Structure 1
Amino acid sequence: MSVLVAFSVTPLGTGEDVGALVAEAVRVVRESGLPNRTDAMFTTVEGETWEEVMAVVQAAVSVVQARAPRTSTVIKVDWREGAAGRLDEKVASVERYLAD
């Protein structure tokens, strides 16, 4: 099974520059050891179970919540039986179509 979770956590009430707090959330994800990717809008994490991935997301959000009076979190989940390595494969598939 493959569970892909794309999430963003935004600290509110901490001023305009939120990069340092967002970096703390990304650090938690990277230290988890799960495959992950961060882009301008989301961090995506891949794991074998819902519990495994959501524990990382919860820990990342908790780090931000500890330093911000309020947070906003957006989560998108793609849960698929019998698949693995989709963090890279989904992008590679699109790139193959673009190369044609």
Structure 2
Amino acid sequence: MLFAFSIAPADGGSASVGDIVAEAVRVVRESGLPNETTSMFTTIEAETWDEGMEVIKRAVEAVLARSSRVSLVLKADIRPGYSGQLTAKVQRVEEALREPRE
């Protein structure tokens, strides 16, 4: 199952929040779960709902340690029995792009 999420401080502090967001990303990377961070979201792949939500919870707590308020946006692709989808979904789109248009 895939979890795409964005965590950011929401207490009106500095315009640049990168150093605080980095604390959340650090939690994700230390989790050992497959992950990818882009400019807007971090995506993780977990075997179970609980495993994924535990990492997200710890990432939120890392931001809360440096901010009095946190914003969380979360999207999940819940598809039991599938793994490797963090890269497989992108590969399928890339393959489709290589095919000529009809």
User: Normalised by the size of structure 2, how large is the TM-score?
Assistant: 0.93
| RMSD (Å), alpha carbons | 0.7
Amino acid corresponding to residue 4 of structure 2 in structure 1: A
CA offset at residue 15 of structure 1? 1.2
Name stretches of at least 5 consecutive residues in structure 2 with no aligned partner: none
The answer for the alignment partner of 1:5 in structure 2 is 3
Whether contact under 8 Å (1:28, 1:60) holds in the other structure is: yes
4+ long deviations beyond 6 Å: none
CA offset at residue 43 of structure 1? 0.2
What is the percentage of aligned positions where both structures have the same residue?
A: 55
When Rg is computed on C-alpha atoms for both structures, the one with the higher figure is 2
How many pairs were matched up? 98
Matched, 1:74 2:73: yes
Name stretches of at least 5 consecutive residues in structure 1 with no aligned partner: none
User: Normalised by the size of structure 1, how large is the TM-score?
Assistant: 0.95
Amino acid corresponding to residue 10 of structure 1 in structure 2: A
Q: How does 1:15-26 map to 2 (within 5 A)?
A: 15-26=14-25
Matched, 1:61 2:60: yes
Amino acid corresponding to residue 11 of structure 1 in structure 2: P
Whether contact under 8 Å (1:14, 1:69) holds in the other structure is: no
CA distance in 2, matches of 1:77, 1:32: 18
